[in-house]
Amino acid sequence: MIPGAIPEEAVAALFGFTVKTLREKRRKGDGPPYIRLSRSTTIYLADDVRAYLTSRRVGISLGKQEG
């Protein structure tokens, strides 16, 4: 296995998707970058998954409050 590689089943579980849903999102161009090793094997690199999750992060900016 490639160091830092995550199988699609694990990525789907991380996102709370079925593998079928992850594949559909991938087909539509959504989701993290992936590597197609063969017709039946797709993997993701941990750094790419982490970057994708970070890019989807939603936060609240409260700004500075003066005392």
pLDDT tens-digit readout, 2-56? 889 999 999 999 999 999 999 999 999 999 999 999 999 999 999 999 999 999 9
Which are the contacts of 2, defined by CB distance < 8 A and separation ≥ 6?
35, 43, 45
Q: pLDDT value at position 65? A: 61
Q: Name the token pair of 40.
A: 């039946």
Task: Give domain status of residue 60, yes or no.
Answer: no
Task: Give domain status of residue 61, yes or no.
Answer: no
Task: Give domain status of residue 67, yes or no.
Answer: no
C-beta of residue 20 within 8 angstroms of C-beta of residue 28: no
Confidence at 66, pLDDT banded by 50, 70, 90: low
Which residues span the domain enclosing 22? 5-55
Count of domains observed in the chain: 1
Task: Give domain status of residue 65, yes or no.
Answer: no
Task: Give domain status of residue 45, yes or no.
Answer: yes
Q: pLDDT value at position 64? A: 62
C-beta of residue 34 within 8 angstroms of C-beta of residue 42: yes
Residue 64, sorted as left (phi over 0), alpha (psi -120 to 50) or beta, turns out to be beta
Task: Give domain status of residue 64, yes or no.
Answer: no
Q: Name the token pair of 11.
A: 């990525």
